[in-house]
Structure 1
Amino acid sequence: MGKMDYDIKSSSPTGTDTEKGGLPTYTDEATAVPGEVFVQGDSLFAKTQRFVTKFGVEPRGIERVPEDERTDTNLVQVGTVWCSANMVVSSFAIGALAIPVFELGFVDALLTILFINLLGITPVCFFSTFGPRFGLRQMVLSRYFFGYYGVKVIAIFNVLACVGWSSVNVIVGAQLFNAVNPDVPGWAGIIIIAACTFFITLFGYKIVHKYEFWSWIPSFIIFLIVLGEFAHSGKFKNLTLHKGGPEAGSVLSFAASVFGFATGWTSYAADYTVYQPVNTSRRKVFLWTWAGLIFPLLFTEMLGLAVATATMNGPDDNPYITGYGKAGIGGLLAAVLFPPLGRFGEFCLVILALSIIANNCPNIYSLTFSLQLMTRYAQKVPRFIFTFIGTVIYCAIAIPGYSRFEEVLENFMLLIGYWLAIYEGIALSEHFIFKKRKYDLTIWNSPNELPPGIAAVLAFCFGVFGAVMGMAQKWWKGPVGRKIGLPMFGGDVGFELAFAFAAVSYWGLRFAEKRFFKR
């Protein structure tokens, strides 16, 4: 993490354009936006913001945060927001997929979980350090990599990721409710979790951080209970490693799923440090983020893997096989907790179902900024309205997808890994090779001074081509992916090729772009 140098210019607002939504007019519109601007004027926007701020709702959207308003000095929160978001049953489910879906042994799946998580979380930790320095949300910060207009393409993918993550997560939670009480249909569990998530994200940054600060603790305690009860059951089975091409294909495909989950937070990373003081240690931000990610991911995924080995123990009346067949991951956890713990086991499952709220809060909070980035008109819509719209949309997707969770989860994790590998290949190349860690913070909102974005968009297309070449999914196997493992299943190397194709093509394209456009 080398030193970042900044050429910061100052600007001041000259007034407020109340006829066009109450947003400020600047001599240099690249300046940071003071918080009081959002409630000034007689426009509908300003009146709405004045009303909701009385209840503690955050009025700020994608506008840059001034340095004097970056007053969140609690570095522990940098870690706990990610600890809570990953100490959930969704990450448990990722580990469990290794057995029924990818048919791996225990040791090979364990090692895949370890090393791929270490790789996947590194970009999240790195970009988290940008929040205090820039005062910009991650997608707005991405204008320095993709340009003012090119970043809109990335924002579309981020919207799909936020909505998709949320849909997948509430399905897991609804399965747990159904495992506790079969009379609770999937759609009811989905709506319960979504409504709770909406209530928290409605208020914004401070409330999200306060909730995430504590919510990992009950989940961790219950996962410890799961660990203890499963160890006591004697149902663990040390599945042997396989060999040759089939093993390589399964490991690579499982690795793609693990990578997609771990690195999935990259496109939100700076959103949760944006109110940290500008002089906050980047090393501390990096390390707190790393600790907050690696601990819950390894613990829950490895636990899920261990419990899933019990589904390979016959006979057919095995409660683990029966539970998994009836209610998926929820039924698998129920098989661990119900027989020995009875009603207390049901209580534990309900808490784990509600833990999904902590996982979905970052998705729905960050969704709003990507939507506001699409057009200037979207900035005239208060952030909390987009929160409501996003909640309705992911519920509409999750309810019909409830009965096909494993297929949805596997395919979605892989797709997330593809596009974020492309994003990382381009963003890291721009930062280290072309920006050389130097940024002019005054141009964040200036289309004619930011990179044109042509090179980034073209490189993104090359990255998509690489992903298609390396895919190994049920609905498509690329020419590279199908040559790994068994022809029927292949081995997924989509995210590796996506990163390589995007990064290498971007180097050449960006050199040409800078030479022609001089920016």
Structure 2
Amino acid sequence: MSQEKIVQEYDIEKDALRPTSSTAEGAVPGDSFEYGNGLYAKLQRLAGKLNVEQRGIERVPEDERDDDSLLNVGTMWLSANMVISSFAIGVLAQSLFFLGFVDAILTCIFFNLIGVISVCYFSTFGPRFGLRQMVLSRFWFGWYGVKIIAVFNVLACIGWSSVNSIVGAQLIHAVNSDVPGFAGILIIAICTFLITVFGYKIVHAYEFYSWIPTFIVFLIILGTFAHSGAFVNIPMGAGVSELGSVLSFGSVVYGFATGWTSYAADYTVYQPRSQSRWKVFCAVWVGLMIPLLFTEFLGIAIMTATTINDGKNPYMEGYEAAGSGGLLAAVLLGPLGGFGKFCLVILALSIIANNCPNIYSVALTVQVFGKWTQRVPRFIWTALGTAVYIGIAIPGYTHFEAVLENFMNFIGYWLAIYEGIAFSDHLIYKRSMDAYNIADYDQPSKLPPSFAAVFAFCCGIVGMVTGMSQTWFVGPIALTAGEAPFGGDVGFELGFAFAFASYAAARYWELKFFGR
């Protein structure tokens, strides 16, 4: 189908692209990023020479959507989750929540199934519209309301990267105690930057293969641990204490699984419009569920060995010395020696695959803040995001376990509210993809005025606070879902419910008064 090319008027002084006419596709010619003699144009010309992706949050036109591989879709998430960070989530079941083996496994299955739904669903929007997730969010939150969401997403991307880097640095330290934590963090951060700076295609190319060596190492860990006979079938608990532990651990699991939601569409925007939504959904689902369950189950199983009280316990000693990295070192180094060290290094470097989506998407998210941030090329924001999370990860290295639990809960809380509003708008008011007038994605006057979304977000926070269970605060509803003084965490469930219901009501009146 032929389409009229969009006509662009370029302001050389500001290096800003201003569409003077539009098409159904809303395309921006690829070479338009290089027009002018300002700093922006010079940087984009340099990017073009180095084959660095120049496009930021501008819509990807159909004639540039040449990635039709569903394997690219699935392996993106397979590699990003077949990592030591996922293993560390499983470890928390016993170390923080004192769950048994079977109840921890069941909790993982149930809350992962819930958490991945939104990632799979919103991934299907990328091929249809060619817009990044935060830009798509303008149709639910409006031009101004989405900036609030963008702030949370930047914090999430930076936080994810910091936590992941700490896990990798722990592994490197477990292999060689002479390597300080900050050195491991720098190694991981620099390698991640070198991949993400080039953009979508290089990120996908790396993720296509990087899961393979990591999966092999995890199989070696599984076999070695099974041969050791150190597994302990910790019995399942009962009563309100067990209920509280399941809900709280479930909140952490959910936060990890759903954490990709706010940039789900970022990694399918170069898929053709004709790509099957059902196939994209299934590819993402398989790519998420297989690594999440496998690694978390393995973490749950190996952590049971720390409960052995028969004399010296190398598993507990390893865990106390270097967290999850030390626990894996206890599994591998004794039986496998030097080869075990090699395996640990592979796992440490697997963090790169987990950090790539975060650092690639944080740059796109920053560009949502305003026209001025969009005038800064994507790869510059990638560099700045890398510098920031290095500065957070290094001082946080010695407090990893507390950082991980609190951060996972933060992710689950705010994303549940985000999902409540997005699903409420899409399922109740838009109901189909045809209801989106995509040409309006960068037109503030044609997008929702943001009142309903901001109101619903505030209501979601109220639900979150009443249901949250943290060491520093326990909500009144959380107390009824577990044993005092910590109760059971139902913050993300209530945050979603409050946001969904309040948006459904407020959006009706917003449409009535504003008509958009």
- Superposed pair shares fold, TM > 0.5: yes
Whichever residue aligns with residue 212 of structure 1, its letter is E
Please report the RMSD computed on the Cα atoms of aligned residues, expressed in angstroms. Answer: 1.3
**Structure 2 Cα separation of the partners of residues 460 and 129 of structure 1:** 24
Gap runs ≥5 in structure 2: none
Provide, for residues 199-239 of structure 1, a one-character-per-residue CA deviation record: whole Å limited to 9, x for no partner: 10000000000000000000000000000000000000000
Aligned pair partner of 1:441 in 435, 438, 443: 438
Quote the residue 1:179 is aligned against: 174
- Contact 2:4–2:23 (CA under 8 A) maintained in structure 1: no
- Contact 1:95–1:302 (CA under 8 A) maintained in structure 2: yes
Provide, for residues 96-123 of structure 1, a one-character-per-residue CA deviation record: whole Å limited to 9, x for no partner: 1001110001000000101111110011
Which secondary structure state, in structure 1, belongs to the residue aligned with residue 217 of structure 2? helix
**Structure 1 Cα separation of the partners of residues 8 and 125 of structure 2:** 28
Quote the residue 1:340 is aligned against: 335
Quote the residue 2:38 is aligned against: 43
Assess, with a 3 A threshold, how the Cα gap between structure 1 residues 316 and 56 changes in structure 2: closer, same or farther: farther
Quote the residue 1:4 is aligned against: none
Quote the residue 2:396 is aligned against: 401
Q: How far did 1:51 drift?
A: 1.1
Give runs of aligned pairs for residues 60-75 of structure 1, distance below 5 A: 60-75=55-70
Provide, for residues 482-510 of structure 1, a one-character-per-residue CA deviation record: whole Å limited to 9, x for no partner: 23222122110000000000001111100
Pair 1:272 & 2:261 matched: no
Give runs of aligned pairs for residues 238-387 of structure 1, distance below 5 A: 238-315=233-310, 317-387=312-382
Whichever residue aligns with residue 142 of structure 2, its letter is G
Which secondary structure state, in structure 2, belongs to the residue aligned with residue 395 of structure 1? helix
Quote the residue 2:510 is aligned against: 513
- Contact 1:13–1:24 (CA under 8 A) maintained in structure 2: no
**Structure 2 Cα separation of the partners of residues 435 and 450 of structure 1:** 13
Aligned pair partner of 1:430 in 425, 434, 438: 425
Which secondary structure state, in structure 2, belongs to the residue aligned with residue 97 of structure 1? helix
**Structure 2 Cα separation of the partners of residues 481 and 135 of structure 1:** 41
- Contact 1:177–1:184 (CA under 8 A) maintained in structure 2: yes
Q: How far did 1:319 drift?
A: 0.3
**Structure 1 Cα separation of the partners of residues 9 and 511 of structure 2:** 35
Gap runs ≥5 in structure 1: 1-8
Provide, for residues 125-149 of structure 1, a one-character-per-residue CA deviation record: whole Å limited to 9, x for no partner: 0000000111100000000000011
What TM-score results when the alignment is normalised by the length of structure 2?
0.97
Give runs of aligned pairs for residues 85-234 of structure 1, distance below 5 A: 85-234=80-229
Whichever residue aligns with residue 341 of structure 2, its letter is E
Pair 1:15 & 2:9 matched: yes
Q: How far did 1:12 drift?
A: 2.0
Q: How far did 1:27 drift?
A: 2.6
- Contact 2:9–2:17 (CA under 8 A) maintained in structure 1: no
**Structure 1 Cα separation of the partners of residues 59 and 27 of structure 2:** 5
Q: How far did 1:316 drift?
A: 5.2
Q: How far did 1:24 drift?
A: 4.2
Aligned pair partner of 1:469 in 466, 469, 481: 466
Quote the residue 2:21 is aligned against: 27
Q: How far did 1:10 drift?
A: 6.5
**Structure 2 Cα separation of the partners of residues 10 and 286 of structure 1:** 31
**Structure 2 Cα separation of the partners of residues 24 and 218 of structure 1:** 46
- Contact 2:6–2:19 (CA under 8 A) maintained in structure 1: no
Q: How far did 1:464 drift?
A: 0.6
- Contact 1:22–1:37 (CA under 8 A) maintained in structure 2: no
**Structure 2 Cα separation of the partners of residues 140 and 491 of structure 1:** 35
**Structure 2 Cα separation of the partners of residues 283 and 28 of structure 1:** 30
Provide, for residues 29-67 of structure 1, a one-character-per-residue CA deviation record: whole Å limited to 9, x for no partner: 992322111112222211111112111100001101111
**Structure 1 Cα separation of the partners of residues 8 and 184 of structure 2:** 50
Q: How far did 1:26 drift?
A: 2.2
**Structure 2 Cα separation of the partners of residues 490 and 172 of structure 1:** 28
Moved more, 42-51 or 391-400: 42-51
Which secondary structure state, in structure 2, belongs to the residue aligned with residue 42 of structure 1? coil
Aligned pair partner of 1:485 in 482, 485, 497: 482
Aligned residues: percent identity?
63
- Contact 1:10–1:442 (CA under 8 A) maintained in structure 2: no
**Structure 2 Cα separation of the partners of residues 278 and 56 of structure 1:** 24
**Structure 2 Cα separation of the partners of residues 462 and 131 of structure 1:** 29
**Structure 1 Cα separation of the partners of residues 481 and 71 of structure 2:** 43
**Structure 1 Cα separation of the partners of residues 8 and 380 of structure 2:** 28
**Structure 1 Cα separation of the partners of residues 440 and 91 of structure 2:** 46
Assess, with a 3 A threshold, how the Cα gap between structure 1 residues 468 and 45 changes in structure 2: closer, same or farther: same
**Structure 2 Cα separation of the partners of residues 398 and 262 of structure 1:** 21
What TM-score results when the alignment is normalised by the length of structure 1?
0.97
Q: How far did 1:23 drift?
A: 2.4
- Contact 1:22–1:41 (CA under 8 A) maintained in structure 2: no
